[in-house]
Amino acid sequence: MADAQSWVPDILGEPYEQLTLELGDDAEGPVVATLVRAGAPASDAPLADVDVLYVHGWSDYFFQTALADFWTDLGARFFALDLRKYGRSMREGQTPGYVASLGEYDDDIAAALDAMGTAGLGRRLVVMGHSTGGLTLTLWAARHPGVVSAVVLNSPWLELQTGAIGRQALAPLVSAQARFDPLGSYPVVDLGFYTRAQRELGTLPESPEGWRPERGFPTHPGWFAAVLAGHATVAAGLDIDCPVLVLLSKGSTPPIQWSEAMTTTDSVLVVADIARAATRLGDRVSVVRVKDAIHDVMLSGAEPRARVFAALRAWLIAGVLV
């Protein structure tokens, strides 16, 4: 477990603290992840023996203090991980968000769990991921049986927006590009509508420069091939050995041109495809579709956000962890 003296104040202010996790070097230089911890949890609450590790999505970092408050109010210790080359963990000269395999994040997660000390303290672990972070944690949980007590997925990117047929058609081309030019650039396809939706809802704070670009990070063949490989693994079927909750919007809006519907639907993923893919994660999967939620269901408008937290609390308390 990491020395408590290594923790320093976080950009979110008190009571948040952060810890830099050294992960060695890659071709772009020193690599780190950053663990953030919330304040002390409520005492005598139902999840007093639980630790939560949250992982963000693509072009993102941890800033969702209401989510941390939800868990600490239930008695859990809350931690969030800014993965390598994201947010707090970005270093000069690095390609934002880039990995050649989602399995590279095993080292980030292992370092975080070691710093949390969950296993040594005999505490239960819940992992929670959004979008690409949800895909990453899904694959990680399947590879690490017996470690996690519950998995919570917030609009996990379990399938490509083109569906399985489109993914299968694209995969050979992307794999070839990844072999010959892994860091080549793709055209920017994010038109900034998802960011606009959050701003209109008032749920997106100002971010440090470069941490959460309006139109997302540039994408590259090596990274895209890693995501497609993750989708193929999910499509083949997993056997996660603990309860899984998947939280999704009830509807999707194609991100072709701006529409007010983007403030009440998922404008990033095709949620019907994600719901179908979720059935392949294991034999204890629950899917909750939330009316008027957006892609990050925790950043939806006030009413759907309240429904999200109520559904999550009910699932946790109704026999999953209590």
Q: How many other CB atoms are found less than 10 A from the CB of residue 195?
A: 18
| Half-sphere exposure of residue 240: CA atoms within 13 angstroms, side-chain side | 28
Which pLDDT tens digits describe the chain residue by residue (322 residues)? 444 459 999 999 999 999 999 999 999 999 999 999 999 999 989 999 999 999 999 999 999 999 999 999 999 999 999 999 999 999 999 999 999 999 999 999 999 999 999 999 999 999 999 999 999 999 999 999 999 999 999 999 999 999 999 999 999 999 999 999 999 999 888 999 999 999 999 999 999 999 999 999 999 999 999 999 999 999 999 999 999 999 999 999 999 999 999 999 999 999 999 999 999 999 999 999 999 999 999 999 999 999 999 999 999 998 889 8
pTM higher than the cut 0.75 = yes
Residue 256 DSSP one-character state: T
**Lookup: tokens for 16:** 């948040």
> Cα-atom radius of gyration of the chain, to the nearest Å?
18
pLDDT at 3: 44
CB 186 within 8 A of CB 220: yes
